[in-house]
Structure 1
């Protein structure tokens, strides 16, 4: 198996300077994954929480409540997806690409700011979309699911003589739960704690890719509207008007060419636009019997480019050098109240970042590789950062790799943390970047019977962790560089590649993430994660069964209470060649109907948000080849 993202060039997974997980389109179909969050929930060392608005990533025991996935860098075909206002990596239905259009996902653990800059503290997730040749004609897909949910997709893709094209559009709609009960609001004044018809969700997305010779033009657009049933941010509980809308679109033109069979030249230019609109229903200040919606906006636009050169020097040095520039044309935040109209915030910003980077992969001996890289990021809005990474990879035998790695990464504070000043939030323009330093050892071993094993041990120290804290007047909230955090842990995975229709993966992760000053474990930080994934071809022709189970240990909430451990079980039955061109899948999520909750953030009255019980989905896909 090969991976690109770890070093910005293709290399064997065992030669990559990181602990790597690859997820293929085949695995996505066989396990009935509906969203990117579903995919990551099954990955070693990752865990997902949901507050019934956004899905959040936890990795290696670290996930701050209320964070917008700012410490993971999300890429699509190498294009940076984290926005320029909140730094959010969107992984739920708000992710702007249908997961059925994913060809493969590369997950690179550890700090990778030496190649990618800000946000790559705990890892990089790079999603590679399908090409026209992968479709080879028309593809239609439709599904119905629990909670009155429907989804559809139409895709056309084809490779011609000198060109390749893929065009796709998708929609999703769900009424959500008709009624959700929260005991924290159990009083006659708040509907006896029942939120009715406030959990709906609507999604639309489109993807277009056109390639001609060495040029590839990609365009992506996705929008999602979600009702918030939890009474978040002190809104009127049970009012279905409280909701958020997120939209993200971009155009990316890439050129890649090999010169004289020696230099690989890559250049890209891009333009992104991100929009957020939140409507929050509060009582009117003049008449509590009336409502006063608060409108909250984020408007981000940015453009830029990147140039990268890759060359092998003297047959032993693989050098990657590049320069990246992003011009944040608009980083605007606006908030105002209605009834009566009252402007609360009108913050308009621009900024830019420029960054050269260099990496050298040196083959010292036949069995020993040294990989070293460095990147300098200059931010016009905060201080610059220099981030190194070095890895020594020892491969003494065929199928064996021992990796020793050290890396540093940073995250620049985003505009929301620095400038959002709507009560109870207070702006803090002086906040500084946070920094992580990670040392890791990895042993990867191929075994007989198509088995492979991986063991990782790591130690991380984060300085200047950006944390939302109580302000000087005890009623306000402000983001500050407060905590120093230490994390130590180990991960084990055993995998069997497909043998006679059978494939399985078993993993276990143990981690301890503590505040170094108090010695206390962080909130929203499970000590243990265990996962099992299994697929089996059935004796009945063209049928395959997929099964996965995920265990998460006890979690401490913000208030110091705890959320019980749980195990979720999901199952999918996939039937191929149904009829002449069809494929049918039946999926059950939370098959055992387990009652469980995810921790809430400071925006919620609840300390824990109950999650869905058992749900079902039926999906049919029709393909017509034009090859």
Structure 2
């Protein structure tokens, strides 16, 4: 069913075939025109994109003291996060299955697909590939994105654009400390040469010992006091390199994150310091872009990636030793793309992607005494072809169409269409009507992981791909100089939902296609930039997510969300204060029973930024959860607790020094 939306946003450039119209815009309107690439795989004004695209800049990340990509994303309309004290996961428009691994978002870094083949995980927490100080901007494209990107783009595409060598122009060193003796350090060098070549190299380390955490479920007199001591530690090291010369570009990234596991999931022993998860990711992305003429560009990409995860689960008695998971996957591939304006009033994009997962290994065994439960090794393929056409029907009307065909080892022969009709109703008003279909193929973990160890998992043969149909109407309008407002009304229909549950007969977890889900809702947002540098971004989201087979409301699905971000100068132009406030309403726990839920909460964060504390020296001081609110996130089916408590008040002090 097609939803209708009203809203308001900044004036937008006409179709790319009419870029000369930009010269006629007033300067206030011109400053609001945003160019994005994540919606269609080529640069276009956000008003021409067939989605309600949100953009976060490097200046925003500094102003609000955001530490991870999850911090960035949960400030946006319709998005929220869940943290189980090991991984941070992302929800959109009332949909987040507790225990999920962000399989329903596609995460790109400079166009490189970061979702790994075994879990399909889009890493946004401390396990993510990228230090947020290296982010130039983040584009979030909500809605079905499979017509452009294939699998995983059910609820949106996150496109992270990194900084270039010129953005550093020398050596930059940063250090931070904070609550629970947290420490961070980074060294980055970047330069642009006279011949146009530019390079950026960066290395960073993070070490957070974490707090002792209390879990009432394990408070057993004479056995345990319910406190996990020293178990919440989080350590990571990262390397990142980026270079370009002429038509060629290259990006390399590496992260190794070790996280203590304090919650005793999968029936493991509580408060055992051996419980941990170690994840290492690597990426290589090489690109070539060439203009055949004034109206046609061609590009190619070759990429490689690897993901290795080790999980230790101590049990006693027996066995006395550790049950260990090892996941090791590596892949390579290529993409070819052509974008042309040769046909009058059309922007045509045609491309193909090929990916070979040449190693997908899953092992599970007890260490002492050794006992093997799983040794699964296989390889897989993914091939996709797509075509998009943006047709300027009339001076004020644009028709955007797209179609992609994918064939994977786990989901052969899937078509994903997208249609968007864009009407520039007035110089300050744009209305978009968007329809799309997307899919997520079952991943290797869901299809083939099994172990009879305690807290183990059994197979469910014949899993089908999840599908979603989305209907959305967006109104964007400029309401004042420097101000814009948006209203989006949407309906999402998910079928063949892959869900994890526990078999009451065996006590083992399993995956199955169990549900049809419908979500209806609306998002209202407003942004304002005032002279002098004060910036405001606020939003309200209302959604209702329902299991169509049972009639029950979806677990971990807030009905209401409110966000506010305000940044303003407080002393001279280089001292700023950033205030962030977020409200998330009640959410049902994994049981789905109305009586079992986590309460709604307000949290507020405050950051003071001194861009020039001294020559070449920058300082920021942040307090998170200023009022010390107690709140929790719903737990997944692998956890013994129904909910996971979150951090109270914490702080961070950070310095950045530039050698130039």
2:42 aligns to what SS in structure 1? coil
Q: Aligned-pair distance for 1:190?
A: 4.3
- Pairing 1:268-347 to 2, within 5 Å after superposition: 268-285=301-318, 291-347=320-376
1:363 corresponds to which of 382, 392, 411: 392
Greater alpha carbon shift after TM alignment, 525-534 vs 394-403: 394-403
Q: Report what 1:85 is aligned to.
A: 118
In structure 1, what is the equivalent of residue 23 of structure 2?
none
Which position in structure 2 is the counterpart of 1:394? 423
2:502–2:637 contact (8 Å) kept in structure 1: no
CA RMSD of aligned residues (A): 1.1
Per-residue deviation, residues 547-600 of structure 1 (Å, max 9, x unmatched): 000000000001220111000100000001121110000000001111111110
TM-score for both structures, normalised by structure 1: 0.97
TM-score normalised by structure 2 residue count: 0.93
* 1:191 partnered with 2:224: yes
Q: Give, in whole Å, the separation in 2 of the partners of 1:499 and 1:548.
A: 21
The aligned counterpart of 1:600 is: 635
In the alignment, structure 2 segments of 5+ residues that lack a partner are 1-33
Contact 2:410 2:443 in 1 (8 A): no
Match of 1:501 among 530, 533, 541: 533
User: In the superposition, relative to structure 1, how do residues 498 and 222 fare at CA in structure 2: closer, same or farther (>3 Å)?
Assistant: farther
Q: Which residue does the alignment assign to 2:198? A: 164
| Conserved 8 A contact 1:61-1:512 | yes
Q: Distance in 1 between matches of 2:405 and 2:67?
A: 38
Q: Which residue of 2 aligns with 1:251?
A: 284
What is the Cα deviation at residue 485 of structure 1? 0.6
* The 10-residue stretch of structure 1 (526-535 or 477-486) with the greater mean CA deviation from structure 2: 477-486
Distance (Å, rounded) in 2 between the aligned partners of 1:71 and 1:229: 26
Contact 2:628 2:649 in 1 (8 A): yes
2:271 and 2:50 map into 1 onto residues whose CA distance is 50
SS where residue 85 of structure 2 aligns? coil
Alpha-carbon distance in 2 for matches of 1:232, 1:19 = 38
**3-state secondary structure, aligned to 1:395:** strand
What secondary structure does 2:426 align onto?
coil
Greater RCO, CA 8 A, separation 6+ = 2
Residue 5 of structure 2 is matched in structure 1 by none
Deviation per CA, 1:240-290: give whole Å up to 9, x if none. Answer: 11000111101111001111222111101011010000011111426xxxx
Deviation at 1:541, TM superposition (A): 5.6
Q: Say if 2:404 is the partner of 1:375.
A: yes
Matches within 5 A, 1:606-625: 606-625=641-660
Q: 2:579 aligns with which of 543, 547, 569?
A: 547
Equivalent residue in structure 2 for 1:438, among 464, 470, 474: 470
Whole-Å Cα distance in 1 between the matches of residues 353 and 573 of structure 2? 51
How many residue pairs match? The answer is 620
Distance (Å, rounded) in 2 between the aligned partners of 1:64 and 1:189: 36
Aligned equivalent of 1:350, options 379, 400, 418? 379
Residue in 1 aligned with 2:545? 513
Superposed counterparts of 1:549-564, under 5 Å: 549-559=581-591, 560=593, 561-564=596-599
Distance 1:31 1:112 in 2: 29
Whole-Å separation in 2 of the counterparts to 1:399 and 1:84: 44
- What is the alpha-carbon distance in structure 2 between the residues aligned to residue 72 and residue 558 of structure 1? 21
Corresponding residue SS for 2:582: strand
Q: Determine the structure 2 residue equivalent to 1:43.
A: 76
Look up the match of 2:208: 174
Q: Which runs of 5+ in 1 are unaligned?
A: none
The Cα offsets for residues 79-101 of structure 1, whole Å up to 9 and x where unpaired, read as: 00010100011111100110000
Q: Give a deviation string over 1:354-408, Cα, whole Å, max 9, x none.
A: 1110000000000000000000000123332100000000002112110000000
